[in-house]
């Protein structure tokens, strides 16, 4: 077996495991969303706003891989739910940026805490040295991907 083929097999297995882990962690975090009456796409939008601070609806649409009109509807609902606010750019009034409101930050904290609590429970019996190794390996992967 060639090195490329071997690496492809490892990549296939690792990608599957990461995707499955992500699905379970997202489900754990989303379980807390019902208390806030927001949808998973709204939560995903909040995460993007947290990470990128000031996005336009067009920017958000691109990052979420959604049509502009779909993103506009999503932002309308988020604005009514007091998660975000549209703010006109002071230098160019044609540009409207999205700013996350305190309620949006609070929801992210709650859902993130739910995911982290779930993960801590799953990992409670794992040896500290093993956890350190996993963290180091995931850090390497993260550095190479991002």
**Hey, CA dihedral for 128, 134, 140, 145, is it positive or negative?**
negative
Residue 63: predicted pLDDT: 96
Count of other CB atoms within 10 angstroms of residue 37: 9
Tokens representing residue 34 in the block: 């019902």
Distance CA 101, CA 92 (A): 22
Quickly list DSSP for 47-58.
HHHHHHSSEEHH
Residue 107: predicted pLDDT: 93
Residue ranges per structural domain of the chain: 3-145
Choosing among 3.40.50.300, 1.10.1040.10, 3.90.700.10, 1.10.10.10, the CATH entry for 3-145 is 1.10.10.10
Distance CA 25, CA 37 (A): 19
Distance CA 113, CA 72 (A): 29
Alpha helices of the chain — where are they, by DSSP H? 3-30, 40-52, 57-64, 68-80, 102-123, 128-145
Residue 35: predicted pLDDT: 82
Distance CA 126, CA 146 (A): 27
Residue 12, CB-side half-sphere exposure with 13 Å CA sphere: 6
Residue 1: predicted pLDDT: 59
* pTM value > 0.75: yes
Per residue of the chain (146 residues), give pLDDT as tens. 567 889 999 999 999 999 999 998 888 877 778 888 889 899 999 999 999 988 999 999 999 999 999 999 999 999 999 999 999 999 998 999 999 999 999 999 998 888 899 999 999 999 999 999 999 999 999 999 98
Distance CA 83, CA 103 (A): 6
């Amino acid at each position: 077996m060639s090195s490329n083929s071997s690496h492809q097999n490892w990549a296939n297995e690792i990608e599957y495991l990461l995707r499955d882990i992500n699905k379970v962690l997202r489900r754990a975090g989303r379980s807390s969303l019902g208390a806030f009456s927001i949808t998973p796409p709204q939560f995903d939008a909040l995460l993007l706003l947290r990470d990128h601070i000031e996005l336009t609806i067009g920017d958000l649409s691109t990052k979420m891989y959604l049509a502009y009109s779909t993103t506009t509807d999503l932002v309308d609902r988020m604005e009514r739910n007091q998660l975000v606010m549209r703010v006109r750019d002071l230098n160019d009034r044609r540009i409207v940026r999205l700013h996350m409101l305190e309620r949006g930050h609070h929801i992210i904290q709650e859902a993130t805490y739910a995911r982290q609590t779930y993960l801590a429970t799953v990992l409670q019996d794992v040896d500290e040295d093993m956890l350190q190794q996993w963290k180091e390996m995931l850090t390497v992967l993260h550095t190479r991907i991002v």
